[in-house]
Chain A
Amino acid sequence: MNYIFYFLIIISIIVGASNGKLPDVVNAILTGAEKSVKIAFSLIGIMAFWLGIMKIAEKSGLVEKFAKLIKPITKRLFNEIPDGDPAIGDIAMNFSANALGLSNAATPIGLKAMEELQKHNKNKKTASNAMCMFLGMNTASFQLVPATVIAVLAGAGYKNPTEIIAPTLIVTSFTFICAIVLAKVFEKLSPPQEIEEVAENA
């Protein structure tokens, strides 16, 4: 991000100067800064509403319920992890929280899942197959309702903000399934995880 930030500003000034648009570029700093604050403020109302609803979901134990429902699937994806291990429950909880858009709640559970997975890891410095699968699921992140995006659309005055739910759902489900398949394919193709001593020599 550091380089991108630097690069974008330098490019704008150089290109602007060579196009004779330098006054516009300087002006854009002022209007851009003002616009950002306006956008943030237009988000407050809808974010507050959604976070309120999500707090209720969290308190009611809905996340746990959902996690229990998908546990059989998680168990199958993580065949390295023994049955009944806390890691499976944590992974299911992390997925459920992510799906509901509770990223603040999802991260601590996810980090706990990583700790549990690390206990089964044969090499503490290298990612295990189970970890790669878990992070594949996480980076592709399945989400039921893209709340922030809807908030921005509504704030900007888009005619029908919830219109984007269905297309987003299609894309996110497809990507999520692809990530799981990819993780399994890579697991078969890539060299097995090396044991501790070898890694330390390397």
Chain B
Amino acid sequence: MLDLISLWALPVIIVFILTFALIKKVPLYETFTDGAKDGFKVAVNIIPYLVAIIVCISMLRASGAVEMLANCLSGILTRFNIPAEVLPVIFVRPLSGSAALGLFSDIATVDVNSYATQLSAVMVGSSETTFYVLAVYFGSVGITRYRYALWVGILADIIAAVMSIVVCSYIFL
């Protein structure tokens, strides 16, 4: 069932969008190429962020600090099947989207078909950069007191991380 959703989600969405647009008489080909131009821009725009975070993480891994941290926490980590390299993703996700993407890309290049890659993929894909969203949205209208909005955001991040661990260990392990 889940495999079917994963397999069909993309084709169904693409066919649906294209058919809908065709009925609405949108020039498909021109609009597509117009949008696709931004692909290069997006990829180039994230280079500075990727360099910053991947250099940091590569240094950290080379220094042996990740192993040390993993050894300290190995009890909890093995209990819940959390690969050590996924830990930084959990903490960075609410702070910076590009940094989380960088961490995830780094994990994916080290061992692409590992459980760590799958878990961090779901973590990065299923939540938002809480602090960025709050800063931009509240900042735009000059709100300085967030009241409980911050708590809702942080709790949602924690729930997302826990759920990712639960769902992934059920599906992928």
A side interface size, CB within 8 A: 103
A48 touches B9 (CB 8 A): no
CB interface residues, B 46-104, toward A, < 8 Å: 46-47, 50-52, 54-65, 68, 92, 95-96, 99, 101-102, 104
How many pairs of residues, A versus B, come closer than 8 Å at their CB atoms? 349
Find out whether the CB atom of B20 lies under 8 angstroms from the CB atom of A62: yes
- Rounded to whole angstroms, the CA-CA distance of A139 and B117 in the bound complex is 23
Give the docked Cα–Cα distance between A170 and B162 (Å): 12
Given A1-B96, A36-B50, A148-B101, A126 and B143 contact (CB-CB distance below 8 Å): yes
**Are B109 and A35 interface neighbours, CB within 8 A?**
yes
Contact A31 B24 (CB under 8 A): no
Give CA–CA (A1, B50) in the complex, Å: 14
**Roughly how many angstroms separate A73 CA and B80 CA in the complex, as a whole number?**
36
Contact B136 A53 (CB under 8 A): no
User: Is there an interface contact between B143 and A165, defined as CB atoms closer than 8 Å?
Assistant: no
Evaluate contact between B148 and A55: CB separation under 8 angstroms: no
Residues of B near A56 (CB, < 8 A) are 17-18, 21, 26, 28, 31-32, 35
Query: In the bound complex, do residue B126 and residue A146 qualify as a contact, i.e. CB atoms below 8 Å apart?
Result: yes
When chains A and B are docked, how far (Å) is the Cα of A118 from the Cα of B160?
29
| Residues A89-121 near B (CB distance < 8 A) | 107, 110-111, 114-115, 117-118
Q: Are B138 and A127 in contact (CB under 8 A)?
A: yes
B43–A47 touching, CB < 8 Å: yes
B136 touches A107 (CB 8 A): yes
Q: Which residue of B lies closest to A29 (CB)?
A: B55
A166 to B141, CA, bound (A): 36
Q: In the assembled complex, which residues on chain A have CB atoms less than 8 Å from the CB atom of B147?
A: 126-127, 132, 190, 193
Report the minimum CB–CB distance from B166 to chain A (whole Å).
Answer: 9
Nearest residue, chain A, Cβ from B129: A139
Interface string of A121-148 (1 = CB under 8 A from B): 0001111000110111011110111101
Q: Which residues of A contact B144 (CB under 8 A)?
A: 125-126
- B142 near A152: Cβ-Cβ < 8 Å: no
- Contact status A41-B95, CB under 8 Å: no
Interface set, chain A 1-32, CB cutoff 8 A to B? 1, 4-5, 8-9, 11-16, 19, 21, 24-25, 27-29, 31-32
A99 CB to closest chain B CB (Å) equals: 11
Assembly CA distance A174 to B165 (angstroms): 13
Which of A9, A143, A149, A159 is within 8 Å of B59, CB to CB?
Answer: A9
Question: Which residues of A are found within 8 Å of B171, using beta-carbon distances?
Answer: 166-167
Question: Could you list 16 further interchain pairs (A-B, Cβ under 8 angstroms) beyond the known A52-B36, A139-B152, A156-B117?
Answer: A4-B99, A8-B60, A36-B50, A43-B43, A47-B38, A48-B39, A53-B32, A59-B26, A115-B141, A125-B142, A125-B145, A127-B143, A143-B125, A158-B113, A170-B167, A175-B156
Residue numbers of B with Cβ under 8 A of A are: 2-3, 5-7, 9-10, 13-14, 17-18, 20-21, 24, 26, 28, 31-40, 42-44, 46-47, 50-52, 54-65, 68, 92, 95-96, 99, 101-102, 104-106, 108-109, 112-113, 117-118, 121-122, 124-128, 130, 133-134, 136-138, 140-149, 151-153, 155-157, 159-160, 163-164, 167-168, 171-172
Chain A to chain B contacts (Cβ below 8 Å), 21 pairs: A11-B63, A12-B65, A14-B63, A16-B63, A16-B64, A24-B63, A29-B55, A31-B58, A33-B55, A51-B35, A52-B35, A53-B14, A55-B32, A111-B136, A126-B144, A143-B126, A149-B104, A166-B6, A171-B122, A178-B155, A179-B155
